[in-house]
Amino acid sequence: MSDLISMRDLSRNDVEAYLRHAEKMEKSLRSSSPPKPRNKIVATMFFEPSTRTHMSFWAAAERLGCRAISLSGDKSSSAKGETLSDTVRIMSGYADVLVLRHPLEGAARLAADVSSVPVVNAGDGGNQHPTQTLIDLYSILRLKKKISGLSVHLVGDLRHARAMRSLLYGLSMFGAKITLCSPKALAMSDEVVREVQEKFSPSIRTTHEINLRDCDVLYVCRIQKERFEDQYEAARLQDEFRITKEQISAAPDDLAILHPLPKIDELPADYDSDPHAKYFQQASWGVPVRMAVLDRVMGV
């Protein structure tokens, strides 16, 4: 049994194996020979809202010839007071893989400890989102043919965004040059930065001013308003910290803009059709990457 809970649990060899498998899955989607159907059941358990993660896991399961079942947190017995541990124990008797999203940090690790089948972390609070990072790394490789040495700017709410935490780890593992750019109140945790520096010794620069002149990949995330206690402060930061067309025009011509989505107004409203914008293509690669994840945790 193999869980996927955190990027911290993976070696570079593990990540490269996932990415190679994703490439095979993408090729299978374009060919007339889809993967051999798996006689498995994948259960998605989402206790927070989701569009891309939930539906791409569902699509990945269907593309693999698995059956998918779904548990929505607001319609589960958790509303009656059932513990997450009990819910996971029950669901692991119904399915071969559990895909869990939960608002509490550490929930996926707890689920893996009590489940009798593999657990995939689809986001636990502001902690980790490993499959999103695999999609991000795969997208960068498909767009840029490499990761090492690229100048990657992580811009937005670095304090709360789990996708940013996981991606910092993944980029450091592959030797990217990283710029962390956020409002001062939303900077990446010092503890997280120290951890990747001690493990990988990456090039990391921290700033609160958006400057894209040396940027190969701009990775943007929204202000995570749902994780703020003060919604007025969240709205203020969301209004103040936006990327402008002028800032993007100063970047290299082959700039690639990625975003885990959903996006609100952190990018110019009419930028979706710009050749720099790659985030919808990035989202589409979620299916082959998550096919690879399901395949590997099922032991294929």
The enclosing domain of 12 has a CATH number of: 3.40.50.1370
Task: Judge whether 206 counts as a catalytic residue.
Answer: no
Q: Are residues 11 and 111 in the same domain?
A: yes
Which secondary-structure segment (H or E) carries 152? Answer: strand 151-155
Would the pTM of this model clear 0.75, i.e. be above it? yes
Task: Judge whether 101 counts as a catalytic residue.
Answer: yes
**What is the pLDDT at residue 185?**
86
Which residue among the candidates 129, 165, 259, 296 is catalytic per the annotation? 129
Q: Are residues 265 and 290 in the same domain?
A: no
Q: Report how far Cα 204 is from the mean position of its chain's Cα atoms.
A: 20
Q: Are residues 139 and 76 in the same domain?
A: no
- pLDDT tens profile 58-74: 999 999 999 999 998 77
**What is the pLDDT at residue 271?**
86
Note whether residue 241 is domain-resident.
yes
**What is the pLDDT at residue 180?**
98
Task: Judge whether 80 counts as a catalytic residue.
Answer: yes
Q: Are residues 123 and 169 in the same domain?
A: no
Task: Judge whether 52 counts as a catalytic residue.
Answer: yes
Q: Are residues 161 and 183 in the same domain?
A: yes
Question: What is the extent of the structural domain holding 179?
Answer: 130-283
In angstroms, what CA-CA distances link 200 with 117, 128, 169, 179? Answer: 32, 18, 9, 15
Q: Are residues 256 and 272 in the same domain?
A: yes
Helices (H), 42-152: 52-63, 84-91, 107-114, 130-144
DSSP reduced 3-state for 208: coil
Residue 204 corresponds to which tokens in the numbers above?
A: 């990391």
Residue 174 corresponds to which tokens in the numbers above?
A: 């592959």
Task: Judge whether 20 counts as a catalytic residue.
Answer: no
DSSP reduced 3-state for 220: strand
Looking at residue 32, what DSSP letter applies?
S
Note whether residue 153 is domain-resident.
yes
How far apart are alpha carbons 85 and 293 in whole angstroms?
23
Q: Are residues 265 and 153 in the same domain?
A: yes
Q: Are residues 111 and 240 in the same domain?
A: no
Looking at residue 44, what DSSP letter applies?
E
Which residue among the candidates 75, 80, 184, 213 is catalytic per the annotation? 80
Q: Are residues 135 and 261 in the same domain?
A: yes
Q: Are residues 157 and 272 in the same domain?
A: yes
Contact 120, 293 (CB under 8 A): yes
Q: Are residues 184 and 79 in the same domain?
A: no
Name the nearest CA neighbour of 35 among 47, 27, 43.
27
**What is the pLDDT at residue 229?**
66
Note whether residue 2 is domain-resident.
no
Note whether residue 1 is domain-resident.
no
State which residues of the chain have pLDDT below 70: 1, 229, 300
In angstroms, what CA-CA distances link 203 with 152, 154, 158, 175, 189? Answer: 10, 13, 17, 8, 16
Contact 78, 72 (CB under 8 A): no
How far apart are alpha carbons 73 and 59 in whole angstroms?
20
Contact 256, 143 (CB under 8 A): yes
Which residue among the candidates 38, 40, 44, 53 is catalytic per the annotation? 53
The total number of structural domains in the chain stands at 2
Which residue among the candidates 52, 67, 89, 142 is catalytic per the annotation? 52
**What is the pLDDT at residue 176?**
98
Q: Are residues 139 and 217 in the same domain?
A: yes
